[in-house]
Amino acid sequence: MKIVITQSEAVEKGIWLKVMKAFGLDQDDEVWEKEQFILTEDQARELGLIR
């Protein structure tokens, strides 16, 4: 299963820094609020999005 989350959803859930790290992004990278990130089931579990 794949989980899709946008940058704004990640910020809202308080996991944006973890998503950035998972995708190799840093503060200097330009990211749009509606940009989507596809997480594996394991990544989503680690981030607390699913059980």
- Residues 3-42 pLDDT 10s: 999 999 999 999 999 999 999 999 999 999 999 999 999 9
Phi, psi of 3 (to 5 degrees): -115, 130
19, part of any domain: yes
Asked if residue 11 lies in contact with residue 40, where contact means CB atoms within 8 angstroms, the answer is: no
Q: 34 is in which domain, residue-wise?
A: 2-46
Residue 21: the pLDDT is 96
Is 51 within the bounds of a domain? no
Quote the number of domains for the chain: 1
Q: Are 33 and 6 in contact (CB under 8 A)?
A: yes
pTM: 0.88
Question: What single-letter amino acid sits at 6?
Answer: T
Q: Count Cα atoms within 13 angstroms, Cβ side, for 26.
A: 1
